[in-house]
Amino acid sequence: MKRLIKKIEKYYKTKKTSLFFYPLACLLYENGAKEEAFDILIEGVSKFPHYLLALIKIAQILMDEEKYEAAESYLETVLQINNANVLALELLANAYEKQGKIEQAIQTLEKLLILNPSSQIKSRLLSLASVYTPSIEKVKEIVEQTNPKQQQAQEKTEVSDVVILDVDKIDNALDEEKQSLLDNKEEPIVFEDIPTIDLEEDDQLNIAKLYIEQGYIEDAKNLYREILARNPQNTQAREALEALDEKN
């Protein structure tokens, strides 16, 4: 890893506007140089303020250091750029929960559940909802929003009435909400790909693995495709790409 860090550092020093700041910072962080990694990330996002990978990594570092309020601001920035970013929503829910902002955590998990309806998220949402007590102001707001006509209709409803839930309608509503989130997201600024022409294939493969570990599967796939475009005989890149395609 140290050889790869030195090679990327050499390139980064000659061209500090390069997006290479992100993999360099990740490698430094994993190698124990946490302060240096954080400083490089901050410098990088000052030049590329819409680079989501770096913004999320900064938030992850801050959360590791239990600086949840600072992490919250970076994650909210990510979601302003792309409000369907699953990783940012998950981390933001964690940050809210750690700060005792249970209502915000629940709202964030509800959005996350639409995009990723996993049993784990459902369980976590139910767990938070079970301990959440709304404030007096929130209760008043709910009461004020209650329609008197609906109350009267409810009083007329007999106990023996059976309420039948239309599951298809519920599923359709969730699908519509999910599509709305995806349609309304702002497209992130697209930058040139990280220049890897000066790196050996082994170094590129290491960077791809780094992306996978961080959860950035599409970036790893793109790097594997770049390797195969230059060297179709690289079995490691081909097998890794095929494995990612099968999982996703």
pLDDT digits (tens, 9 = 90+) for 73-87: 999 999 999 888 899
Residue 186 is predicted with a pLDDT of 47
CATH code of 206's domain: 1.20.58
Look at residue 212 and tell me if it is in a domain.
yes
Residue 117 is predicted with a pLDDT of 85
Structural domain of 209: 201-247
Which pTM value belongs to this model? 0.62
Query: For the chain, first and last CA: distance in Å?
Result: 28
Look at residue 234 and tell me if it is in a domain.
yes
Look at residue 69 and tell me if it is in a domain.
no
Nearest to 78 by CA among 57, 62, 61, 64: 57
* Rounded CA separation 193/20 (Å): 10
* Rounded CA separation 92/108 (Å): 7
Give pLDDT tens digits for 150-194.
Answer: 455 555 444 444 434 344 544 555 555 555 555 555 444 333 344
Total of domains in the chain:
1
pLDDT at 3 over 60: yes
- Identify the weakest region by mean pLDDT among 104-108, 175-179, 218-222: 175-179
Look at residue 105 and tell me if it is in a domain.
no
Residue 194 is predicted with a pLDDT of 46
pLDDT at 107 over 60: yes
Query: Distances in Å between the alpha carbon of 139 and those of 108, 144, 156, 184?
Result: 20, 9, 24, 30
Q: What is the mean pLDDT of residues 231-237?
A: 89
pLDDT at 246 over 60: yes
Look at residue 243 and tell me if it is in a domain.
yes
Look at residue 239 and tell me if it is in a domain.
yes
Length of the chain in terms of residues written: 248
Look at residue 238 and tell me if it is in a domain.
yes
**Within the chain, where are the H helices?**
2-14, 21-30, 34-47, 52-64, 68-81, 86-98, 102-115, 119-131, 136-145, 148-156, 167-184, 201-214, 217-230, 235-247
